[in-house]
Amino acid sequence: MRNFIYLIGSMDDFDSIEDLKTEYFKDPSGVEPDRRNMSVFPVVLSEACAVKGYRSIAEIAEMIARGEALSADWCFDGTFSILLEA
């Protein structure tokens, strides 16, 4: 199994992707009450996962996580986002 974490945060609250990552690593559990405007989307895929048109498991994980983020009312305008392998 491969574990990924997709982070997305508002450009109003974060200066860069590095700033977003730093906030996540301060409290990966997401329990910290004063966390800035961000969301965390975990994705777990098996090594055998394959989807036509995608070259890697990481690409598939990123598309799934982006769909989760959009379903949770995020948009790509005005945000920073990154996929990390956990």
Q: Over the stretch 19-63, which tens digit does the pLDDT of each residue have?
A: 999 999 987 776 666 678 999 999 999 999 999 999 999 999 999
Structural domain for 66, as ranges: 2-85
Q: pLDDT value at position 32? A: 67
Q: How many domains does the chain have?
A: 1
Average pLDDT, integer, range 58-77: 96
Beta bridge partners, 9, equal 38, 80
Tokens of 34: 């004063």
Claim: this prediction has a pTM higher than 0.75: yes
DSSP state of 58: H
32 or 86, greater pLDDT: 86
Question: Rounded to whole angstroms, how far apart are CA atoms 36 and 56?
Answer: 31
Q: pLDDT value at position 28? A: 75
Q: pLDDT value at position 36? A: 84
Q: pLDDT value at position 30? A: 65
